Amino acid sequence: MVGKTIGNFTVLESIVGEKYGKKHSWRCRCNLCGSEDNIISTTNLYKQYSCGCAISSKGSRKIEEILRNNNIDFLQEKRFASCAFGDSG
Ligand SMILES: [Zn+2]
């Protein structure tokens, strides 16, 4: 398992311990951002898309990349103040 790449993670180290809920976990490098301090259980390793640095939907990710390249803060599901509907009648 160590040295394998699963999804966007490369497994660096096997971690077993009560500290991590007694589940067998792995220290992984996120290949999207390069952070190596991610402790992820075996199950999550196959489910998780990233360490949290990226958004799973491909469309959003593309946009995020473009914005990030331009140093623009990316807000997912940006909410707009709704218009006033109170003046009917
Ligand atoms: Zn990451």
Each residue's pLDDT tens digit, 54-85: 866 566 667 667 777 777 665 555 555 556 56
Please tell me the distance between residue 51's alpha carbon and the centre of ligand 1 in angstroms.
Answer: 4
CA 68 – ligand 1 centroid, Å: 14
44 φ, ψ (degrees, to nearest 5) = -65, -25
Ligand 1 centroid from CA 76, angstroms = 17
For residue 54, what pLDDT is reported?
A: 81
| pLDDT for 13 beyond 80 | yes
pLDDT per residue as tens digits for the range 14-62: 988 666 566 789 999 999 999 999 999 998 999 998 998 886 656 666 7
Residue 79 Cα to ligand 1 midpoint, Å, equals 25
- Rounded distance from Cα 48 to ligand 1 centre (Å): 11
Quick check: 2 pLDDT over 90? Answer: yes
26 burial (CB, 10 Å; 0-12 / 13-18 / 19+) is: buried
pTM: 0.58
For ligand 1, the distance from its centroid to the CA atom of residue 36, given in whole angstroms, is: 9
Asked whether residue 86 carries a pLDDT value surpassing 70, the answer given is: no
User: Does the pLDDT value for residue 11 go beyond 80?
Assistant: yes
Question: Is the distance from CB of 29 to CB of 51 less than 8 angstroms?
Answer: no
Cβ atoms 10, 3 nearer than 8 A: yes
